[in-house]
Amino acid sequence: MRSQATQSGHRTGKKIASSFGPLKVLLVEDERDIAGNIWDFLERRGHVIDHVVDGERGLARALEGGIDVIVLDLGLPRLDGLELCRRLRAAGDGVPVLMLTARDTLEDCLAGFEVGADDYMVKPFALHELEARIGVLHRRGLPPADAQLQVGDLAYAPATMLARRAGQSMPLTVAQGRILALLMRESPKVLRREDLLHALWGEEGGSFAALHTHVSALRAIIDRPFGSSMLQTIHGIGYRLCVEP
């Protein structure tokens, strides 16, 4: 077992190619057995792993950049996973975050989404599913081809994950950006919850409660400070983005 954080480590065993390209994964996990299993598995699959064992070092490493996906434990020393994610998003960093938790209540999982996590897994979990989830997050975090989307006075640039309204620039998370881009492309049509759910997580995860949490967080960013609502809930059906008459 590796005893030092942030070293990359090396294995001489044969690597097995993953179904997608190699990723740079930041693993923030203080349980060394769990961290070692994740590290060994992902490294054998061709990914490059940085590992830190506490939240303060995890936040510092994340803010250095160069990370494709963060795998983040919820219960960490020095700075817990929720606060780490909150500070990361407050700094304008939209790197995809998959949160690991031993707490399987809906409230605990939604708390992660509320601070900007993109997905979560409850321990124990299958390592192959973990790799599939981080692959989905990475693909959905890649910037689409659209140079910029515009609905009314709201603009969104997928390449930079920055929304702009009334001259104010607003960084979004991967999930928030994907929801906004889908709604803007289809505006003023209503997008069903099922379609948004599949676009965000495919078959690998997510729930209507998680989707609602992401939409609520997005609404707080693009609507609440401006006194008029563009992101509308169509109860029992889905959501739409439109300019109020």
Structure confidence by residue, pLDDT tens digits, 72-119: 999 899 999 999 999 998 888 888 999 998 876 777 777 888 888 888
The fold adopted by the segment(s) 149-241 is Arc Repressor Mutant, subunit A (1.10.10)
Q: What is the mean pLDDT of residues 206-216?
A: 85
Q: What is the mean pLDDT of residues 222-237?
A: 91
The fold adopted by the segment(s) 24-141 is Rossmann fold (3.40.50)
Main-chain phi, psi angles of 164, to 5 degrees = -140, 130
pLDDT number for residue 28: 97
pLDDT number for residue 138: 83
Answer for the pair 92, 113: CB distance below 8 angstroms, yes or no: no
More confidently predicted of 158 and 27: 27
pLDDT number for residue 19: 54
Q: How confident is the model at residue 9 (pLDDT cuts 50, 70, 90)?
A: very low
Residue 7 has pLDDT above 80, yes or no: no
Distance CA 58, CA 50 (A): 10
Scored b (16 or more CB within 10 A) or e, 14-36 reads: eeeebebeebebbbbbbbeebbe
- Residue of 132, 131, 169, 175 lying closest to 27 (CA atoms): 131
Distance CA 205, CA 121 (A): 9
Contacts for 225 with CB less than 8 Å, ≥ 6 apart: 168
Model confidence over 32-63: pLDDT tens digits? 999 999 999 999 999 999 999 999 999 999 99
pTM of the model: 0.65
Answer for the pair 21, 57: CB distance below 8 angstroms, yes or no: no
Model confidence over 140-151: pLDDT tens digits? 765 555 568 999
Domain ranges of the chain: 24-141, 149-241
Q: What is the mean pLDDT of residues 1-10?
A: 34
Q: What is the CA radius of gyration of the chain?
A: 18
